[in-house]
Amino acid sequence: FRSVTPDAVVQKQYIDRTYALLRTADPATEKVNAWFRGNSPFEHARRATVAVEVNNIVALSNQTYQIDWTEFERDRKGKETGSRRFRAIATVTLTAPQDENVIRLNPIGLYLKDLDWTAQ
């Protein structure tokens, strides 16, 4: 959900895919909502893009994972203006999706229950 593209249609698809992994009652949903409230990818795309590269995923348990990634920011001319590393701890669950639209985006029913991330 942290990628930023100048194409609004593609950005909306990124957001839809993110929300297909979230359920209303789970803490991850409020955390993602809060992030989007303070970080509009559509506004960000006016000045820069962000490419996300996943570096590592480590299972900490059968439902919790550590995810390390790097974000590469580029200005609208394509020049890289910076990179930042992040680490998240994500807790997931498997639940069969019921909604046809969600089935298209999340056919196996993998949902993000909780998520915390920090810059490294």
Tell me the CA distances in angstroms from 20 to 48, 59, 91, 100, one per residue in order: 26, 22, 15, 11
Q: Which domain holds residue 103?
A: 8-119
The pLDDT > 90 percentage for the chain reads 88
Rounded Cα distance, 6 and 41, in Å = 9
pLDDT in tens, 29-48: 999 999 999 999 999 999 99
Tell me whether residue 3 is in a domain: no
Please report the pLDDT score of residue 59 as a whole number. 98
Residue 51: inside a domain? yes
For residue 85, which of 67, 107, 109, 104 has the smallest C-alpha distance?
67
Q: Is residue 2 part of a domain?
A: no
Q: Model pTM greater than 0.85?
A: yes
* Domain total of the chain: 1
> 111: domain CATH number?
3.10.450.230
